Structures are given as C-alpha cells and as structure tokens.
Amino acid sequence: MEYFETTLGGLLREKAKTQGDRDFIIYADRDLRFTYAEFDKRVDELAKSFLAIGLKKGDHIGLWANNIPDWNTILFAAARVGMVLVTVNTNYKLHELEYLVQQSDLAALCIIDGYRDSDYVAMVNELIPELKTSQRGHLESKKFPYLKSVVYIGQQKHRGMYTMQELLLLGQHTPDQLLHEAEAQCDTNDVVNMQYTSGTTGFPKGVMLTHRNILNNGFGIGECQKFTEKDIICLPVPLFHCFGLTLGMMAIITHGSAAAILENFDPLLVLATVQKEKCTGLYGVPTMFIAELNHPMFKMFDTASLRTGIMAGSPCPMEVMRQVIDDMHASEITIAYGLTESSPVMTQTRTDDPIEVKVSTVGRELPGVEVTVRDPETNEECPVGVHGELCCRGYNIMKGYYKMEEATKAIIDDMGWLHSGDLGVKNEDGNFMVTGRIKDMIIRGGENVYPKEIEEFLYTMPEIKDVQVVGIASQKYGEEVGAFIILHEGASVSEEDVRDFCRGQISRFKIPKYIFFVDTFPMTASGKIQKYLLRDIGLQKVQELGIAT
C-alpha cells in the first residue's frame, strides 16, 4: 500500500487546487454547501485567527458541538497550523467536561449553545467562574492553567468568549506569512486529533492520533467502498466520534468525494438528504438504519442513488441487512470494525462480499494493516477457527494515550500489537468474526457463552426487533445469561415464549434465565450499547424481584 505522507491541511490545499469547484461539504436541509476551494479559504481565515489570539503548534483545542457546519472548519484550521483538535462528547455533563478539560490540557475550548438537555454556556461558566471577568484570550483559571480562550460558535456575545464571526474577521486581517510559517512546521507524524474513549469500559482516555493514522485509515476505508470523486456520502453519525471523523470525513477527502452532513440524526432528514443530493453512500449504526427503514414515510423517498456505505457499532441482523440492500438499494453496503486506538478501522467487508459475510463477520484486514487472533494467556497466534483476542498492528496504531504511559503499555505489547479486548475468530476465508468482549463473555458454571451467538439466534424470533445478551452475576454459577429484548411494535411475547423458542435450538446453558422487555438500550452518543450498564440493571432487577441468583 502506498501511504499518504501529508497532513490534513496539506491534502485539503491539494484538493482545492485540483478540484476546487467540486462540492466538499453539504447541509441539504439548510441548502448550504462549500466547494473544496471555498472551504479551503474559510479554513485559512480561521487558522490565521488561531495564531492571532496566541495559540501555537501543539496546543490542544477542544470542540464541544454536534455536527454544525463549522465543525470541520475548526478541525482543518487546527490541523493546518499544527494544533490538536480534542473532540468532546456531546452528551457530557459537568463532571465529565471538567475531567476532559483538565486531563487534556486544553488551551482553547469551542462550544455551541447546548445539546438536548445540556446548556453548554451555563456549564462552562459554572466550571470556569473566572471567564466572565477575564479579557478574551487571557483567561487565568486556577483549575485549568492551560486554558486561555473560549470560543462561542454563534452570533450571540458572551462575556470572556470570542465568537466565530470575530475570529473569521480577525483571520482576514492577519498576514498570510504567519500561516505559511506555521504550516511549514507541520509533519504527517504530528498528533492532529485526540478522541476520548467512549467509556463503555473504564475511565475515558485521550487517544492521540496522527495525520498519518487517520488519513491512511480513511483512504483504506474509502477504497473498501470504491469511493471516487463522484460519490456523495450521507453522514448522520457524530463527527466527534471516529465514525464521523475518520470513516466519514477522512475517507471522503482522500477520494475527493462530498459529505452530506446532518447536524443531528433524524431518519426523515436522512431520507430527504439521500433523495435531494442523490447520495451514493449512507453511514449509520444498525439502529439508525432500522429507524429509517421503519419510518412510515420511507416509501415516499427515492433512495435508488444509494450504492454503498458503512454499518458499524454493533452487529446487523440478517433481515435488516436484506432490507438495506433490497429496499434502500445499498447493494454494496459494508461492515467495519475497529477501535478508536486503531484509528479506528482494522477490518472491513468489501462491496462484493455476499450478504452472509456482511452479517456474520467483520470482513478482513484493511490494506497495510495486520490483524491476528491471539491467545489472551500466552499471546501466541491462534490457528484458524480458534477463539482468541483480536489484535492489530500497522500504520494505524495510535501514538498512545495522552499522559497515560502505563495504560498505553497495557494495550500495545512489545511486538507492537494493539490488544482490542474483543474476542474473535478467523475463518477459513480470511474473514474475522467478533464474538464478544473478553469482559462480555459469560462464564456460566465453567461454560464459555458468547453473547453474540445467542443474540443472533434470538433475532430469528419474528417478534423481536432488537436484543442484547449479558451476564448477570450469580452465586451458584458465577454468571447467568440475561437477555434485554425490544419487541416490534404491537408484538406480544412472554418470557416463557422466548425460552420455548430457544429450547431444542440452542444449548440449555445458553438459554437466558433472565429476560427483560425494554424500550431502549443505554448507549453512548456514538451509538455503542453500554453492556456494562445492562449487567448492572439486570442484577438490580433480579435483586428487586427477590430471585435467587
């Protein structure tokens, strides 16, 4: 594989010269679009303003926002002059924000009004009381000594904060020489983005990713979907997460394609955007595709332009995949798997893989990436067909966790293998299957139970719309199998009906002892189901009911 040895800013500059009049970023619902050349100019103005307010190479800039139009402007402006964009989860509350600002040593923080039930402006003012009495760009915070600037992305003025319009105007009046000098100092191996792990296990850690990491990973992801400059990809997934940033924006820019972005996920807006812009690709987690397919107005929209896309985040049921291929026309849809720490994609199915491969595997390794299954005890490579831990090595491995050397050593071994913490197996065709997290694996009375196997079986029960299987702590067996089930609208099923469906079909020790009917699953903002919370909820429910465990 021939690697990209450039920076995000350098690649954007190149695309602006070679295809400047082609669309790059589109917001169909606002009728807003930037060509590559227009976007490049806007990035220059913001990059110059960052330098003008005293930010410098290596500084960390936090971005706390949903998929607003200037989200990418801030990313590329920071990248152009050697700064590091720290993406902030839109669902964070005060305690989580405090941890991130402190742990990441932010020099600047860019925020919007708020998101859902969170008032970001109020939270920032509560966290940083000195802000209202500080001169802009000269914040002196006892709690956050590195933090000097807060930027409000909007028209309204807030004390102590710059506005985006002010910065863009300042950039227009800042000499180009400053920009060119800063740009010349940038290197492909510099850290460009820090993403905090979503916290499905343990404390959030800042994953340091370089230009080389994410550009090459994005290129490989786009190659697996056969992207060209003619493709228009609908992105309803969050940009603060690697799904939107790398699988989305990096795959798109490396191929000169266009991104049709949604500020927030809305199944109706997704369908309208696909029709209006004639999108050729669509991204989402399975629950997003289910919401689009089940929308009462689905048949009113023309999705015939769709060809490919990515479904990731959790396994896709066979029936959903069939509908995406047949009813949405995305016949070349792909499945991707990886970790933030691997930039993030390790493996991906290909456009011509049969449907069985797309629902039962996560495909094979990306070009330039090594993936193996290794024995968790000995670290020896497992033969084909033998379960072990999925591990990865290559250009895509993170630089490390920010200020967490021991945690970095714990996940990347002396041979350079990144240990995913996921259980998997490689089949004879070279495709990998994920069978659960090492901590998700249920051990019931000495028997290893893989949650994914039971989930895939329960998906075949017609009344079940979605299901998650976890281990519930048990004094007798160590763990019992628990199933959290979402039924199709109007369906009526009892716990015993589910068990009857299992009897004779799967081993007795795999049949869920505990069955909970729910409306939703606890999820991270990026669409990952938080199984550790389901385990806690299940144990609590069992204890409340007084059932012996």
Which of 196, 227, 252 is the C-terminal boundary of a domain? 196
What average pLDDT does this structure show over 423-452?
86
What's the pLDDT at 78? Answer: 98
The more confident residue out of 470 and 91 is 470
Residue 146 located in a structural domain = yes
CA distance 204 to 302: 41
How far out from the chain centre does Cα 279 lie? 21
pLDDT band at 198 (very low <50, low <70, confident <90, very high): low
Residue 46 located in a structural domain = yes
What's the pLDDT at 450? Answer: 79
Least Cα distance to 486 among 526, 521, 512 occurs for 521
Residue 175 located in a structural domain = yes
pLDDT band at 147 (very low <50, low <70, confident <90, very high): very high
Asked if 243 contacts 237 with a C-beta cutoff of 8 angstroms, the reply is yes
Residue 482 located in a structural domain = yes
pLDDT higher than 70, residue 548:
no
What's the pLDDT at 200? Answer: 46
pLDDT higher than 70, residue 98:
yes
| Whole-number percent of the chain with pLDDT over 70 | 98
Would you state the torsion angle of the CA atoms of residues 311, 317, 318, 320, taken in this order, to the nearest 10 degrees? Answer: -60
pLDDT band at 29 (very low <50, low <70, confident <90, very high): very high
Written as six digits, the tokens of 236 are: 């309803």
What's the whole-number average pLDDT of the chain? 94
What's the pLDDT at 380? Answer: 96
The more confident residue out of 436 and 65 is 65
The more confident residue out of 526 and 144 is 144
Q: Concatenate the DSSP letters of all residues of 235-299 into one string.
A: E-S-TTSHIIIIIIIIHHHHTT-EEEE-SS--HHHHHHHHHHHT-SEEEE-HHHHHHHHT-TTGG
What letter would DSSP give residue 3? P
pLDDT band at 336 (very low <50, low <70, confident <90, very high): very high
pLDDT higher than 60, residue 324:
yes
Written as six digits, the tokens of 300 are: 């009113």
Which tens digit of pLDDT belongs to each residue from 311-323? 998 778 899 999 9
What amino acid is encoded at 265 in this protein?
F
What's the pLDDT at 443? Answer: 81
What's the pLDDT at 476? Answer: 79
Domain span at residue 134? 8-14+34-196
The more confident residue out of 342 and 526 is 342
Which of 180, 196, 212 is the C-terminal boundary of a domain? 196
The more confident residue out of 116 and 48 is 48
What's the pLDDT at 549? Answer: 54
Question: Domain tally for the chain?
Answer: 2
Asked if 347 contacts 432 with a C-beta cutoff of 8 angstroms, the reply is yes
The residue count for the chain: 549
Residue 497 located in a structural domain = yes
Which tens digit of pLDDT belongs to each residue from 228-279? 999 999 999 999 999 999 999 999 999 999 999 999 999 999 999 999 999 9
CATH of the domain at 99: 3.40.50.980
What's the pLDDT at 202? Answer: 56
Least Cα distance to 498 among 475, 481, 515, 510 occurs for 515
Residue 94 located in a structural domain = yes
Cβ neighbours of residue 279 under 8 Å, at least 6 residues apart? 232, 233, 234, 260, 273, 305, 306
CATH of the domain at 537: 3.30.300.30
Which of 132, 166, 196 is the C-terminal boundary of a domain? 196
Would you state the torsion angle of the CA atoms of residues 457, 522, 321, 89, taken in this order, to the nearest 10 degrees? Answer: -150
Residue 360 located in a structural domain = no
The secondary structure of 323-388, three-state, reads HHHHCCCCCEEEEEEECHHHCCEEEECCCCCCHHHHHHCCCEECCCEEEEEECCCCCCECCCCCCE
Q: What is the pTM of this model?
A: 0.87
What average pLDDT does this structure show over 34-58?
98
At residue 404, the 3 state secondary structure works out as: coil
Which tens digit of pLDDT belongs to each residue from 83-96? 999 999 898 889 88
Listed in order, strand segments (DSSP E) in 120-225 are 149-152, 161-163, 191-196, 206-210
Residue 460 located in a structural domain = yes
